[in-house]
Each structure stands twice: as structure tokens, then as C-alpha cells.
Amino acid sequence: MRAVVHDRYGPPDVQRVEQVERPVPNDDEVLIRVRATAVSRTDCHLRRADPFLWRLFAGLRRPRIRVLGSEFAGDVEAVGAGVNRFKAGDRVFGTSARFGTHAEFICLRKSARLARMPNGMSYEEGAATCDGVLKALASLQAVGVQKGQRIVVYGASGAIGTASVQLAKHLGAHVTAVCNTKNVALVRSLGADEVVDYTREDFTRSGETYEVIHDAVGKHSFRRCRRSLKPGGVYLASDVGFLWHVPLLILATRYVGKRRVRMPLGRTTQADVDFIKELIESGEYRAVVDRSYPLEDVIEATRYVETEQKVGNVVLTLG
């Protein structure tokens, strides 16, 4: 089968498409033919080993994980004898904790974060769903966002940001979304109550205060935001490039002038993917796809992700 592999750390060019061995499902596994997969910022951090601490997870001298990719959509090709939740032919979407979705086939355990695709959803939309929304869901659940609260989503046009806006609205919060000029209309269409164009104004200087400030892109700081938090309010740091934010872990759940810093690294489950599926079917959530590339153009796709200008998600398609 075809897969995108890399054998050393470095720029996008270290990736190549080659033939690798096709996996065979165990009794408790599902074999999935991948039709689309996403290129995320996490993939880029892992491929570059940037910051260096990534090597503690991925291999000190060379990558142990040759095939990247976590999010996907595709078709169930075969199931193990112990699997009864899925059957061959099911259209599915989800995420792999072990990476490996930048390939034509992948095996996942029956308990993996995997669900049948909603009717009418394209493979590209399915592949673009889980990365941002599961991280956003874990974040908002960790701080207990509730109806009537005021929340800022900084970086509201990215994968996590577009998800955070929609989930916060589902939870009943009043959402102020912060993005650049070209994405104002998109973010407003996702349900934001107010949209702030950061190229024209700084939300921290408006005098407004909030229960939660979610930095969905890891480009803000608690120091800059603390005066915009209500007493007891929470600055929610992003786990994008989470090793870069390790110092914040020291402050996690700790009060700083009656205002808290949190960086949730919560575990998500199959039930969370089912929940997102229900939101999609009810019209309360939609994935945002910026660009789609064939698998062979993975280098170009990765370069675009690394400009940090993507809106929502970037997708690779596999035939």
C-alpha cells in the first residue's frame, strides 16, 4: 500500500510516498481503507522534532513513527472476529492515537475513537472533523463552560478555534471570536456572537471581562490576558505544540491573582466521537476544510500548514 514516510527529522522535503506493508487486523481490530486524512500542526511538530523535547516521545536520533497522521475518513475493509460494532462497507471517520493515517490502510482497535459517518458527509469533511473538535471539547469540558458564560476564542479560524466557537455556542456560552480580517465572515457564520479582527483592535484593551479565554493557537499569553479575566476566570492554553507550553503545566489548576491557568491534556473516547456525530447530524457542528491535496502532494500540503495561515483543516485525499 502507499504511505507517506519519513526516516529523519527535518523540513517537509524529508517526506516521501512509498510502498509499505499493508496491515492485517487482529481479532479486536478494524481494517480501514483511508479515503482522506488531515495534515495537522502536531504532524509538523513531530516531523521536525521541534521543539527538541518531541524526541523524547518520537525517538532521540531518528523517528520511531515513520507514518504520521491522526485524523481520517474512509471505509471499513474488514473486521476481526471479535468486532461487532462495525462491518465491512461502513463509511467511518475518527482519529488514531498511534498515528499512521497518512496511508491507504490502517488498523484500529474496536474501542478506538471511531464512528460511522453522518449521511451526506464527504470523506474530506470527515477527515477534517476530529483533530480540532476533540481537542476543543476536552478543553471546554476541563473548565466547565456553561450557559451564559462569556468566552473568548483567540485564533477562531484554525482547526481548534472553529471547533471551540461551535462547541461553546452549543454549551450556551456568549462567544467572542478573535481572528484576522479575511476570516471574519467565516467565523461569524459558525455562530460567534461577536467577532474581533485582531489586525484592527486588541480585545484585551476593550475593558470587557470574561469567564474563559481560550487561546486556540498558542500565540497569546496569560500575562497579556489576565486583566480581561473575571475573578476566578480561566486562561485556557492550547495544547497545540504542547511541549512548547510545558512551563504552563506548573501553573495548571493554580490560581494567579484569583485567575487560573489551565492546559488540559484530557483523554477523549469513542463516546466523544459519537457525540460530535450527533452535533453534525443536528446541524450544530460543521468541519471547515481549507484546502485538499492528493496524497502525492503531501510536501506542498505540509508547507502550507506550516505557514500557520490555514483556515480550519488541510486534507490529503487517497483516490
Q: pLDDT tens digits for 47-84?
A: 999 878 888 888 999 999 999 999 999 999 999 999 99
More confident residue, 265 or 154: 154
Parallel, antiparallel, or unpaired: how do β-strands 91-95 and 29-39 relate? unpaired
Domain-embedded: residue 269: no
Q: Per-residue pLDDT averaged across 127-141, rounded?
A: 92
Domain-embedded: residue 215: yes
Q: How confident is the model at residue 30 (pLDDT cuts 50, 70, 90)?
A: very high
Average pLDDT of the residues of the chain: 91
The pLDDT value recorded for residue 238 is: 72
The pLDDT value recorded for residue 51 is: 78
**Residue 292, pLDDT above cutoff 80:** yes
Parallel, antiparallel, or unpaired: how do β-strands 254-256 and 259-262 relate? antiparallel
Domain-embedded: residue 231: yes
Domain-embedded: residue 109: yes
Residue pLDDT, tens place only, 213-234: 999 988 877 888 889 999 989 8
Domain-embedded: residue 281: no
Decide: 115 and 90 in contact? Cβ < 8 Å: no
CA distance linking residue 164 with residue 139, whole number of Å: 9
The pLDDT value recorded for residue 246 is: 45
Q: How confident is the model at residue 92 (pLDDT cuts 50, 70, 90)?
A: very high
pLDDT over 90, % of the chain: 78
Decide: 105 and 31 in contact? Cβ < 8 Å: yes
Q: Which residues pair with 114 in a beta bridge?
A: 94
How many other β-carbons are positioned within 10 Å of the β-carbon of residue 198?
16
Domain-embedded: residue 277: no
More confident residue, 177 or 225: 177
**Residue 96, pLDDT above cutoff 90:** yes
Is there a single domain that holds both residue 217 and residue 105? no
Is there a single domain that holds both residue 183 and residue 229? yes
Domain-embedded: residue 173: yes
Is there a single domain that holds both residue 159 and residue 219? yes
Is there a single domain that holds both residue 123 and residue 217? no
Q: Which of 100-109, 140-149, 209-218 is most confident?
A: 100-109
The pLDDT value recorded for residue 266 is: 62
Tell me the one-letter amino acid at 225: C
CA distance linking residue 129 with residue 72, whole number of Å: 9
More confident residue, 264 or 276: 276
Decide: 213 and 229 in contact? Cβ < 8 Å: yes
Tell me the one-letter amino acid at 274: D
Is there a single domain that holds both residue 69 and residue 148? no
Q: Which domain holds residue 154?
A: 131-262
Q: Per-residue pLDDT averaged across 85-95, rounded?
A: 97
Least-confidence region, from 44-48, 142-146, 251-255: 251-255
Is there a single domain that holds both residue 153 and residue 220? yes
The CATH number given to whatever domain includes residue 99 is 3.90.180.10
Is there a single domain that holds both residue 312 and residue 257? no
Is there a single domain that holds both residue 174 and residue 118? no
Is there a single domain that holds both residue 117 and residue 155? no
Is there a single domain that holds both residue 57 and residue 70? yes
The pLDDT value recorded for residue 259 is: 56
Exposure pattern of 203-224 as b/e (b: 16+ CB <10 Å)?
A: bbeeeeebbbbbbbbbebebee
Looking at the structure of the chain, the number of domains it has is: 2
Residue 206: closest CA among 214, 198, 217? 198
Is there a single domain that holds both residue 117 and residue 137? no
Is there a single domain that holds both residue 297 and residue 246? no
Domain-embedded: residue 164: yes
The CATH number given to whatever domain includes residue 153 is 3.40.50.720
The pLDDT value recorded for residue 89 is: 97
Q: Per-residue pLDDT averaged across 247-272, rounded?
A: 61
